[in-house]
Amino acid sequence: MIPYGRQDISQADIDAVIQVLQSDFLTQGPMVPKFEYAVASYTGARYALAVNSATSALHIACLALGLGEGDYLWTTPITFVASSNCALYCGAQVDFVDIDPKTYNINPLALREKLKKAKETNTLPKIVVAVHLCGQVCEMDKIHALAQEYGFKVIEDASHAIGGTYQGVPVGACQYSDITVFSFHPVKIITTAEGGMALTNCANLAQKMDLLRSHGITRNPQLMTKQPDGSWYYQQIDLGFNYRMTELQAALGVSQMHRLDEFISRRHLLAERYDSLLADLPVIVPWQHPDSYSGLHLYVIRLSLDKIKRTHKQVFERLRELGVGVNLHYIPVHTQPYYQTLGFKEGSFPEAEKYYTEAISLPMFHTLSFEQQDTVVEALRKALYE
Ligand SMILES: *Cc1c(COP(=O)(O)O)cnc(C)c1O
């Protein structure tokens, strides 16, 4: 089976991890700061905090921005559940904004309309999570302008988008947001096995997230309520978690960062190749906004169902039978049973729901060969017509 995504681990990656295993520190050593420095330098963000997953990063990002009971977080329904679950962890409420039918990202026009109404009913969001689906960056300039007008904070869920740029600026620079989050799960662009990172340019937010990822404990006398009792002394000054990244993970991350640009250009080459190989098939290939240079975590096609005699499910299942490990990103979050118990109804976000009935993620990863790609396209042709 050709998977839809997979990691690429080099001998240098393996050596880097073994070196840490033989060193003094398996956790809380020098590699985590080194990885943070590498990602901060690459993106241009002032502060970077490595954690054990993007889910953890989203949680501490929300807490650092003060999200709590009575507050709202808004995001897109076409995302992984973690983008909205982070609000529920904080006791806040979630709402969704429908997607743009061209980019599949949160639609800034729909966002504006919803904000207008929310202002009247006093239910404006405290945070909007902009998810860069497939790596294509959301229209951040428009979202930022709305954030200024309506006074909400912006988190970029850039789990798909490390290595990309927006208006020429690296994703992660937080040019138009308060905090940006990356995921280093093995299917993502670079990996640390499990892992994530939160980036910000705000010293105060960085300090809060630093505390929250490690129990709310500090060894910095300037943050303590009194002089330290002695050199053993630490204080818990907030309620945090153990969301730390290990040294092994960070070493893998540092090593993977060396190949990030190579990974991204390969993904672009593969995407261009797909675009031309699929040109005569009844599918819609990904449209790219000119402001965004995508990280291309995913390559999602939409079936033109009116032009074929097969259903979406038939095409999907046939591809799997033919050895192509296609996937579907994502099931609209508001249709998940857990979200239905919170009161969400099917039919509320029609563009997202329509997308779900047509979308298929084709294999897209650094080591995908042209031969494998040709096999995928041949299989798709069969699945659509035979
Ligand atoms: C993968 C992913 C996450 C969660 O990442 P983890 O590192 O697995 O916690 C969150 N949001 C999006 C959009 C993702 O794709």
Domain map of the chain by residue range? 2-257, 260-385
Say yes or no: CB of residue 183 within 6 Å of ligand 1. yes
Calculate how far, in angstroms, residue 223's C-alpha sits from the geometric centre of ligand 1.
32
**How far apart, in whole angstroms, are the C-alpha atoms of residue 346 and residue 166?**
33
Which atom, in ligand 1's list, is nearest to the CA of 184?
A: 7
pLDDT of residue 110: 98
Say yes or no: CB of residue 5 within 6 Å of ligand 1. no
Say yes or no: CB of residue 157 within 6 Å of ligand 1. yes
Residuewise pLDDT in 10s, the chain (386 residues): 999 999 999 999 999 999 999 999 999 999 999 999 999 999 999 999 999 999 999 999 999 999 999 999 999 999 999 999 999 999 999 999 999 999 999 999 999 999 999 999 999 999 999 999 999 999 999 999 999 999 999 999 999 999 999 999 999 999 999 999 999 999 999 999 999 999 999 999 999 999 999 999 999 999 999 999 999 999 999 999 999 999 999 999 999 999 999 999 999 999 999 999 999 999 999 999 999 999 999 999 999 999 999 999 999 999 999 999 999 999 999 999 999 999 999 999 999 999 999 999 999 999 999 999 999 999 999 999 98
Name every residue whose Cβ is closer than 8 Å to that of residue 103 and which is 6 or more positions away in sequence: 133, 136, 138, 139, 287, 289
Alpha carbon nearest to ligand 1 atom 2, residue: 159
Alpha carbon nearest to ligand 1 atom 10, residue: 82
Fold (topology level) of 2-257: Aspartate Aminotransferase; domain 2 (3.40.640)
pLDDT of residue 59: 98
Say yes or no: CB of residue 79 within 6 Å of ligand 1. yes
Which atom, in ligand 1's list, is nearest to the CA of 82?
A: 10
Say yes or no: CB of residue 131 within 6 Å of ligand 1. yes
pLDDT of residue 386: 87
Nearest CA to 5 out of 218, 159, 174 is that of 159
Say yes or no: CB of residue 192 within 6 Å of ligand 1. no
Pocket test for ligand 1, best of 86, 183, 296, 330 (most atoms within 8 A of CB): 183
Q: Which CATH class is domain 260-385?
A: alpha beta
Which atom, in ligand 1's list, is nearest to the CA of 188?
A: 1
Say yes or no: CB of residue 76 within 6 Å of ligand 1. no
pLDDT of residue 261: 98
Which atom, in ligand 1's list, is nearest to the CA of 131?
A: 13
Say yes or no: CB of residue 294 within 6 Å of ligand 1. no
pLDDT of residue 102: 97
SS (H, E, C) the chain: CECCCCCCCCHHHHHHHHHHHCCCCCECCCHHHHHHHHHHHHHCCCEEEEECCHHHHHHHHHHHCCCCCCCEEEECCCCCCHHHHHHHHCCCEEEECCECCCCCCECHHHHHHHHHHHHHCCCCCCEEEEECHHHCCCCHHHHHHHHHHHCCEEEEECCCCCCCEECCEECCCCCCCCEEEEECCCCCCCCCCCCEEEEECCHHHHHHHHHHCECCEECCHHHCCCCCCCCCCCEECCCCCECCCEHHHHHHHHHHHCCHHHHHHHHHHHHHHHHHHCCCCCEECCCCCCCEECCCCCEEEEECHHHCCCCHHHHHHHHHHCCECCECCCCCHHHCHHHHHCCCCCCCCHHHHHHHCCEEEECCCCCCCHHHHHHHHHHHHHHHHC
Say yes or no: CB of residue 83 within 6 Å of ligand 1. yes
